Chain A
Amino acid sequence: MATRSRRLRLRREQAGDRREAITGYLFIAPALALFALLGVYTVAYGLRLSFVEWNGFSPTRIFVGLDNFKDLLWADAALSESVRAAVGRTLVVMVAAVIPTVLISLPLAIALNSVGRLRGFLQTLYFLPYVTTGIAVFYAWRFILLPDGGLNSILTTIGLGSLAQAEGFLGNPDTALWATTAVLVWSTVPIGVLLYLSGLQSIDGSLLEAARLDGASPLRIATTILWPLLRPITALLVALVLRAVLQEFQVFLLMTNGGPLDKTTTVSLLTYNLAFGNNAAYGYAAALGWLLFAFSLALAAAAFFVLRRKG
């Protein structure tokens, strides 16, 4: 009798657990459905596109296997040359964006951390570029970098006219990539400052106080105490900036459209142009997107490996 009632209780409990589990699943169903539609479906669709030739209109897609990847990498001489050139430029931007972002963000964060009054106001001020970055801001930068724009005027006014660019910083093939990269850095510095600031605020104040009492200069404190303690933050920032550079195409599309002479066509912009240019080639665009993804994955793995070793 006792065994039977225990069994009944157990069965009831199991049924209750099952109902609870079903209720839970039903609750997450909308999110799952949304993810399946917007996440899994689009990724699978993109993968499928990378194996076909398709112009975006035609009802039929021609299956070409790995040909799109081969064309991008070596088989199509003109296209693979464009891809190689775009990869080279992207690598330049990666290096040129990461180093200044770190070198500007850290001192700014240290300075902000030591400010007593107006800290909130200054934090908001430094974070503004991050929240305002977009079409309007890129166009504003375009005007600043034009031949008769603000930067040339300032350089001329302060006696540095030799640095002014007669063709503007975006019209000169030698300066266009650096100018667009500078705007990219301008938009990534705020996130760097924010990350470093949160890292600085988590450091034990007594450690810095002890260093000061021992006579360490601010520079020595920054290089021998803060920098090593903030290394995980730096690794995260580097990863975030690299991701931004690999994915970012807006700044290049809106400010230079890849010109002059294709000198600012990065891999992400080339991908965009292959998909949405006059002669849409979605297969090439998807394949290049997947190659970019593989590269990002390798980069993330490398960063993770380095981070673990340092840790």
Chain B
Amino acid sequence: MTLRPRRLAALAVAAALALGTAACGSSDSDSDSGTGTSAASGGGDPVTMWTFKQSHVAGLEAAAAAFERETGTPVEIEVTTPQEAYVTKLQAAARTRSLPDLLSVGSADESFRYAASGILADVTDDFDQTMQDEMLPGIATASQLTELAIENSKGDPQNSLARLTAGHWYGIPYVAGASGIVLARKSALEEAGVDAARASASWEGFVEAVGATHARSERSGGIVTGMQIPETAYQWLYRPLAFNYLGKEAFDGRQSRAQTPAWNSPESVETFTLYDQMSPFWAPGVLSLGIDQADQAFAQGKAAWDIGGTYTLPFLLQQGMRAEELEMFPVPASSRGEHTRAELAATPILSTGVTTQAKNPEGAIAFAQYLGTGEGARVFAETASEVPASAAAADALASNPLLGPVLDALRAGSDQAFNGDLFAADPVGNPPVKHDVAVELAKLVAGTSTPQKVADALVGVYQRAWEKAGG
């Protein structure tokens, strides 16, 4: 069959129009993007939740199934990994108005940033005092937007939180925990004659213990963490050590505009010296390992020690490790420091944020509450081996051999407890100052710097960062 030129031309025009319509429709239209979900909210309508943690999917699905049994509302869980791909997906979905009802987001910084950008709703009215009281101590307060956070954000207009309200919440916490956790392989400790209690009692005991396993086997007795991203060791190992050595006031003061004490003051240099004591004992190739790769290396027996957070445990279990094989304790404090006992603050890690484009906002809020403090919190925590934000769910995990002691430590934390995710004292700026700090610190691990040189370099790093932030 042959087509006349005019007919062919008509076909070509039709195809061009169809292409144009298809391409433009999704980006310019303000109307619903036609996902097939009813725009009307209601009890039976499905709720969609996105997460970036593969290890959370089973837990969230278990909680979703329980929620559906109770309310009749189905919840669909979708995962996108890694986190960069998740963020890119959120950006694209926000612009094409195809966000889901619920998002899994970082509890403090991230939920505020997304709310300031108009994609997360204020959930203060749905996170009432009763719910707040049902959380682990400190969780509700730590996930609340503060005046200080708003004030500090003003130096970065694009990420300014000025349009939000201090004292409000923009997500309901469901995962709590703490960073700065040491995980150790029991068998490696036994083989090297290491006493876990002594290792966890002080930084000095810890260094001695890592030295012992390393001496027994350089190939499998070392320590790992995802140092390909240098912030990891800075945040999870150095910061808890420095916090306990300097004390809260000096630790925050060193990062402040006044830099008091100075980064190169004797006590500050001492923190780098202590950190450098660990340098000979890192596992081979540690600087090339990402976070997951470091955890995998530990799970595969290529290291005796792993530094992470409470959230490292689910990944290790997913890699085939058994809880009985592990020891778990906070990064110990130096016996010569301001605080000689490491205290952990329960930190809100992840929250469920209700999007401003939610098609079933009532259902979304109900599931967020169920996951935060309801039965869903227990179901999720048990299935995912995560520390829940809910106190009642945490009680149910008290008998867990690994999470039980950590939960006790989290509950026992005083106001001097270290919150590893709190960077409020840092100058704001993009890229953030912590990357430059972490790179300088990693030079100790690489053996290309000294504690004094690192300290001197950080004076300059913070001076420049504060100048940029408007100081």
**Do A and B belong to a common assembly?**
yes
Interface stretch of the complex, out of A54-62, A120-128, A213-221: A54-62
Q: Report the bound CA distance from A34 to B113 in whole Å.
A: 35
Q: Is the CB of B290 within 8 A of A257?
A: yes
Q: Is the CB of A23 within 8 A of B9?
A: yes
Interface stretch of the complex, out of A97-105, A162-170, A186-194, A227-235: A162-170
Q: How far is the CB of B261 from chain A (nearest CB, A)?
A: 23
Q: Is the CB of A259 within 8 A of B288?
A: yes
Q: Does A148 contact B (CB under 8 A)?
A: yes
On whether A276 and B84 interact (CB within 8 A), knowing A29-B13, A54-B158, A79-B431, the answer reads yes
- Contact partners of B443 in chain A: CB under 8 A: 261
Produce 1/0 per residue, B1-41, CB < 8 A to A: 00001101100110110011001000000000000000000
Q: Is the CB of B229 within 8 A of A62?
A: no
Q: Which among A58, A256, A276 has the greatest number of chain B C-beta atoms within 10 A?
A: A58
- Contact partners of B84 in chain A: CB under 8 A: 276-277
Interface residues of A, count at CB 8 A: 50
Nearest A residue to B5, CB-CB = A23
On whether A37 and B20 interact (CB within 8 A), knowing A78-B468, A260-B288, the answer reads yes
Place the interface of chain B in its size category. 35 or more
Q: Report the bound CA distance from A200 to B468 in whole Å.
A: 58
- Contact partners of B219 in chain A: CB under 8 A: 148
Residues facing B in A18-33 (CB within 8 A) are 19-20, 22-23, 26-27, 29-30, 33
Q: Does A151 contact B (CB under 8 A)?
A: no
Q: Report the bound CA distance from A86 to B8 in whole Å.
A: 52
Q: Report the bound CA distance from A25 to B23 in whole Å.
A: 21
Q: Is the CB of A33 within 8 A of B285?
A: no
Produce 1/0 per residue, A244-288, CB < 8 A to B: 000000000000110111100000000000101111110010000
Q: Is the CB of B87 within 8 A of A280?
A: yes
Residues facing A in B67-114 (CB within 8 A) are 84, 87-88, 90-91, 94, 113-114
Q: Report the bound CA distance from A29 to B443 in whole Å.
A: 57
- Contact partners of A298 in chain B: CB under 8 A: none
Q: Report the bound CA distance from A54 to B94 in whole Å.
A: 14
In the complex, which of the residues B227, B288, B431 contacts A146, with contact meaning CB atoms closer than 8 Å? B288
Q: Is the CB of B446 within 8 A of A55?
A: no
Q: Does A13 contact B (CB under 8 A)?
A: no
- Contact partners of A166 in chain B: CB under 8 A: 284
Q: Report the bound CA distance from A147 to B302 in whole Å.
A: 11
Q: Does B277 contact A (CB under 8 A)?
A: no
Q: Report the bound CA distance from A148 to B289 in whole Å.
A: 13
Q: Is the CB of B228 within 8 A of A147?
A: no
Interface contacts (Cβ under 8 Å), in number, total 141
Q: Does A77 contact B (CB under 8 A)?
A: yes
On whether A170 and B288 interact (CB within 8 A), knowing A23-B5, A76-B468, the answer reads yes
Q: Is the CB of B287 within 8 A of A171?
A: yes
On whether A260 and B287 interact (CB within 8 A), knowing A26-B12, A37-B20, the answer reads yes
- Contact partners of A281 in chain B: CB under 8 A: 158, 430-431
Q: Is the CB of A173 within 8 A of B446?
A: yes
Produce 1/0 per residue, B256-299, CB < 8 A to A: 00000000000000000000000000001111111000000000
Q: Report the bound CA distance from A53 to B157 in whole Å.
A: 8
Q: Is the CB of A58 within 8 A of B464?
A: no
Q: Report the bound CA distance from A37 to B17 in whole Å.
A: 12
Nearest B residue to A149, CB-CB = B285
Q: Report the bound CA distance from A54 to B117 in whole Å.
A: 10
Q: How far is the CB of A135 from chain B (nearest CB, A)?
A: 13
- Contact partners of B8 in chain A: CB under 8 A: 23, 27
Q: How far is the CB of A276 from chain B (nearest CB, A)?
A: 5
Q: Report the bound CA distance from A50 to B461 in whole Å.
A: 26
- Contact partners of B227 in chain A: CB under 8 A: 259-260
Q: How far is the CB of A72 from chain B (nearest CB, A)?
A: 12
Q: Does B145 contact A (CB under 8 A)?
A: no
Q: Is the CB of B446 within 8 A of A260?
A: yes
Q: Is the CB of A259 within 8 A of B228?
A: yes
Q: Report the bound CA distance from A30 to B11 in whole Å.
A: 10
Q: Does A238 contact B (CB under 8 A)?
A: no
Closest 3 CB pairs of A and B: A57-B117, A260-B287, A171-B285
Given A29-B13, A170-B285, A261-B287, 17 further pairs, Cβ under 8 A:
A23-B9, A26-B9, A33-B19, A37-B20, A55-B117, A55-B158, A56-B87, A57-B114, A58-B118, A59-B117, A59-B118, A146-B288, A148-B302, A167-B287, A173-B446, A256-B288, A261-B448
Q: List 27 A-B contacts (CB under 8 A).
A: A20-B5, A33-B16, A53-B157, A55-B159, A57-B90, A57-B94, A57-B113, A57-B117, A57-B118, A58-B159, A59-B117, A61-B158, A77-B464, A78-B431, A78-B465, A166-B284, A167-B285, A170-B285, A171-B286, A171-B289, A259-B229, A260-B228, A260-B442, A261-B287, A261-B443, A276-B87, A279-B430
